[in-house]
A and B are shown apart, each in its own frame.
Chain A
Amino acid sequence: MARAAVKPQAPAALRREAEEQAARYPALMAEAERIAVTVAQGVHGRRRKGVGETFWEYRHHAQTDPVTRIDWRRSARSDDLFVRENEWEAANSVWLWRDGRASMDWRYDRKLPLKKDRAAVLSIALASLLIRGGERCAVLGEGDAPRAGNAGLDRAALLLAAGTGDIAETDFAALARHARLALFSDFLEPVETWRARLSQLSGIPAGGVLVQIADPAEEDFPYAGRTLFRASGGGQELLVGRAENVGKTYRNRYAAHRDDLKALARRAGWPLVRHRTDQPPARALQAIYQAMAPEG
């Protein structure tokens, strides 16, 4: 369905593009796994007994307990009967979304990753962590139901790596109540657009994390000289005689935009994690994971 937005192409070209996209997937997956492992040290359960697979405690057998629940091995060691309790591992559904629009498909310096790729890495790593923690994940806008386990991770990772990720076409109606979301984008659209979206989401109700991916050049504006600026994806152009002269104004505006976004996030109760592509992703992932973890 996302393909519909792409202008018609020859099948061969389409396939080549798909393969190129897919070729990136294992690499992204590998990197995501790598950074996920560094964060996974901190993964823990819900710290209370419940439905789960991990041992939580032995307790004395109560009248209400069925006989089948008696742990005979433990009970044989003493006169009392014991019941084995496992930790409660409530699975939540998390919807991930990685902005894949043209503005994300950009970098200033060849040595840095595309914003889109960095977002994919972070989101896949997050998915990996969540699924490891027993959560179910789904990719927003792709129509899949949240799934758990390795199959769910593979599915999510593929969609995060190669998906189109256009939020304008996303149908929030599919979200379950109290769903949690992680939105990876550069949030360069006007703040009003996001205010509308966030209020729509809050109405479901659903909450989550906003992860802003930024290229250093977007903040620092390192341009100088006579420069013709083009919007990503074509369209608008702007010729600046001396780019260094507008740098200061631009940086102020960018800072204002960032503050607006921060204020919006705070008011809507969505933690905002900012990440520059020239910084190591593990730190951002840690922050995102912390923000994702529910209170308690």
Chain B
Amino acid sequence: MDANWIAIAASIVLQSSPLIIAVCGETLSERAGVVNLSLDGSLLLSAMAGFAAAYVSNSLLLGFLAGAGVGALMALVVAFGSLALRQSQVAVGFVLTLLGDSLSAFLGQNFTRLPGIWVPRLPIPWLKDIPVLGPIVFNQDLVVYFALVLTLASTWWIFHSRPGLALRSAGERPEAAFARGVAVRKLRYAYAVLGGALVGVAGAAYSLDVKIGWAEGHTRGLGWIALAIVIFGGWSPLRGALGVLLFVATRSVISVVLQRSLGESSVVVLNALPWLLMLLVLLVVSGRLGGQLLARLPAPLQRPLRGLMQAAPPAALGAELKEG
């Protein structure tokens, strides 16, 4: 691989990292049965809070903590509204999406387009010298490493650990889990808040690392993309992370190709691309289109491919919790 492609691949990995963190967070929350629809507003508000806190205190750590705190708080409101007050998660999440957006615009008005601090590059000795993989994955910064470790750790946690079993049962069959002594409500609160905190870290990662700085609408739209990728990933952090990489890679490759062939007018296609991809991917993953495509393939391929392509959400996702 020549150096140019390696540089592109490394930039794709960096660009993907915040989105991967957000997808892992939302996956944890939804696996426990709480849809945090406020993602787009949470990302905006935590990106703003993270930038402002780091700018004022000159400390990256405080920036990320502020982002995590904001994200956790937003998730707590969604969880409280649905678990304690039995309101619709969608309604509360939607209102918070808009509120987060306008709050970030108002509170961030004096922090717009200022030169801030950013996460420094931190190559890992030895590992960075592995051919191809080294410069792409291990010559990055802490945000990228965090995304990598988080993906692996949360996948293991959800599917291979004992607490993960309780987590999945809270999202799949909460009544049965409750009968077996799982504290469903507490679990849902905990994972929703943890997931929200991760979304907040992702927001701060945008304004302090990937898209350095703050301006109104800095990350607008990315939260919705993350929500769609959680579905695409079949509620698995690993598959979600691959989905993010695929999404970001497709966008960068097509943008390179388009700019060579179309020039100016490519902007329209480029802007439309994420949303067209989102529709296409959801049609294939959760829609009939995917099933029809599969049915045309030779029979031995169908089963494994169906497992890869299509996924069902946790059975009790967003449903009201009834317990003793």
B and A form one assembly: no
